[in-house]
Structure 1
Amino acid sequence: MNQIDRLPTEIRSPEPDSVALVSGGNSGIGFDIAQQLLDRGVNVWIGARDLGKGQRAAKEIGRSVQVVQLDVTDPSSVAAAVQQVGELDILINNAGVNPGGEDITGTTIEQLRTAYETNVFGLIAVTQGFLPALRLSAHPRIVNLSSGTGSLTWNNSPNPQFDWEQVQGGGLAYRSSKTAVNAVTLLTAQTLGQGFKVNALAPGLRRTNLIAGMTVGGDPAEAATGAIRLALLPDDGPTGALWSWDGTRAPW
C-alpha cells in the first residue's frame, strides 16, 4: 500500500456521468459530502434508512440529488438499493451509530452488537453489494468513514486530539468498531488492488447527531471536504490508508 504522508493537492475532475452513493447521507457529515459532490458535478444518491428523512434532506439540498432507502443492517434493503442505483463510481460508507456504553466494565453486549451491525457488518454488506457496479467504473473509489478514536496507535500514546483523562479505555463499542473499519479498509484495498482507491477518513470531532445533544466539535462541512479529496483521488493517488480530515496520514 502507498506510504505517502499527505494526500495530493490535486483533485480529479469527475466525468459528467459519475455516480456516487452516500450512505447515511440525510444528515451530519454525509449530508455535507452529498452537497460537495454535487458541487463537483457528480450525480449523487443519498442512502437513508428512513426514506422520509432522505426526501426531506434532498428537498433541503434543492438540487438533482436522488434518494434511495438504505438500511445497511437489512440485506433486503441493501439488495434493493443496489438494483435501484445501478451504475456506481464512488461509494461513501458514511452510515454509522454510537450506541453509547463506557469501558469494558460498563458496555453491554447489545451495545457492541448495535455498533458492529451498522459500523462494520453494514459497511461490508454495502461494499459487497456494490462491488459489481464499482468494478465497471473507470475510477472506482471507496471511502469509509472511520474515527481517530479507532487508531490503536493514538489510543496507546498521548495525542492532542483527545482528552485522555476522559476517553482512555472508554467508548468501547464505538471506538473498537472503528478500529475494525480501519482493518476492513486495509484488507479491502489489498484485495481490490491499485485500480481501486479504498481509504478511511478520520473526520475529527464534529457537531452531528452521532452523540445525542452534542454541542461541541467542528463544522461537519470541513470533514466532508476531506472525504471529497478521497472520493476524487487521481489514478496515481494512495489506497489502503487512514487519513485525517486535513489530508495528513493517520496511524493505524
Structure 2
Amino acid sequence: MKTALITGANKSIGFETARQLLQQRYYIYLGSRNLENGLEAVEKLKAESLTDLEAIQIDVSNDESVKAARAEIGKKTEVLDVLINNAGILGGMSQITSTDIAVFKQVFDTNLFGVVRVTQAFMDLLQKSVQPRIVNVTSGLGSLTLHNDPNWEYYNVKPAVYSPSKAALNMYTIVLAYELRDTAFKVNAVDPGFTATDFNQHSGSGTVKDAAARLVKYATINADGPTGKFLSDDNSPETGESPW
C-alpha cells in the first residue's frame, strides 16, 4: 500500500484529497496544525469506512513541529510515496504599500518556507519510493504572466502577500524538479482552482471535490507524467498548464 502525507488536511481541499486517495487505497498521514482537528477529521473519514489513515500534528511554520512529525511517521514507515504540500494562509487583502513586513514573514513562513521545511524533512523517506511524487498546491494568483494580462478574469485581484508567496513557491518547484530531474521524482505546482472554501469565505466557483481531484491526478501520475510544471485546468484547459 502506498503512503501519502498531506499537510493542512483536516478540512476543505486537503480533507477531500485525503478522502480521494483513501478511495485509491493509499495510506494517509493526515497532517493538521491542531491535532484535535486532525483526529476529528480522521473519525469523519473512518465513519465512511475509510480506515487506512491517521492524524499527524504538523505546523509547517514550526521547525520543531515538522521534525516531530518526521520522527513520528518514521516510526511507522520507511517509505513515503506522496507528499502534498497543501497547508497555506492568505494573509489578508491589504495594499502592498501598507502591509507590515511581519505579515510578509508570516505568510511566506507557511506558504514557501513551510513547503521547504516539510520537503527537506521527508526527502529521505520519499527517496525510498519507487515513484515519489511531490505536489505543491499553488494558485493562479501566483502567475506573473496572468497578473500582467488586463484581460485575465482575476486581473484586479492582487493580494499583497499571498500572490508573491505563491509566485515564489512556483519558482521553488521549478528548481526542485530540476535538481531531481534524473530521478524517479515528479514534482509539480498544481492550482486547484478558485474553490469555495473557508479560505475565501466560500466565494469560489469551484467545488472541493473537483479541486482535490486535480491534486490527486498529479499525486498519482505514472513515470511518463509531467514534472516541473505549473498545472491548471482553469487557465489553460487545452494543455493543462498555466503560464508562469
TM-score of the two chains, using structure 1 as the length reference:
0.88
Superposition deviation, residue 59 in structure 1: 0.9
Q: 2:22 aligns with which of 25, 28, 38?
A: 38
The worse-fitting range, judged by mean Cα deviation, of 63-72 and 134-143 is 63-72
> Secondary structure of the residue that 2:134 maps to in structure 1?
strand
Q: Check conservation: 1:143, 1:198, Cα contact below 8 A.
A: yes
Superposition deviation, residue 106 in structure 1: 3.2
> Secondary structure of the residue that 1:199 maps to in structure 2?
strand
Query: For residues 167-182 of structure 1, what are the structure 2 equivalents within 5 Å?
Result: 167=157, 170-182=158-170
Q: 2:146 aligns with which of 151, 154, 157?
A: 154
Q: 2:99 aligns with which of 99, 107, 129?
A: 107
Match of 2:132 in 1: 140
Task: Provide the C-alpha distance between the structure 2 equivalents of 1:60 and 1:229, rounded to a whole number of angstroms.
Answer: 23
Unaligned segments of structure 1, at least 5 residues: 1-16
Q: 2:214 aligns with which of 201, 204, 226?
A: 226
Q: Check conservation: 2:197, 2:204, Cα contact below 8 A.
A: no
Q: Does 1:20 pair with 2:9?
A: no
Give aligned pairs, total.
231
Superposition deviation, residue 160 in structure 1: 4.2
Q: Does 1:80 pair with 2:72?
A: no
Q: Check conservation: 1:225, 1:245, Cα contact below 8 A.
A: no
Q: Check conservation: 1:101, 1:108, Cα contact below 8 A.
A: no
Q: 1:203 aligns with which of 173, 183, 192?
A: 192
Superposition deviation, residue 215 in structure 1: 3.5
Percentage of identical aligned residues: 39
Superposition deviation, residue 103 in structure 1: 2.7
Q: Check conservation: 1:72, 1:78, Cα contact below 8 A.
A: yes
Task: Provide the C-alpha distance between the structure 1 equivalents of 2:126 and 2:159, rounded to a whole number of angstroms.
Answer: 34
Residues 1:159 and 1:199: Cα distance change in structure 2 (over 3 Å): farther
Superposition deviation, residue 128 in structure 1: 0.2
Residues 1:222 and 1:116: Cα distance change in structure 2 (over 3 Å): same
Task: Provide the C-alpha distance between the structure 2 equivalents of 1:173 and 1:215, rounded to a whole number of angstroms.
Answer: 19
* Alignment RMSD: 1.4
Match of 2:110 in 1: 118
Superposition deviation, residue 221 in structure 1: 1.2
Alignment-mate amino acid for residue 180 of structure 1:
A
Residues 1:222 and 1:159: Cα distance change in structure 2 (over 3 Å): farther
Task: Provide the C-alpha distance between the structure 2 equivalents of 1:128 and 1:238, rounded to a whole number of angstroms.
Answer: 21
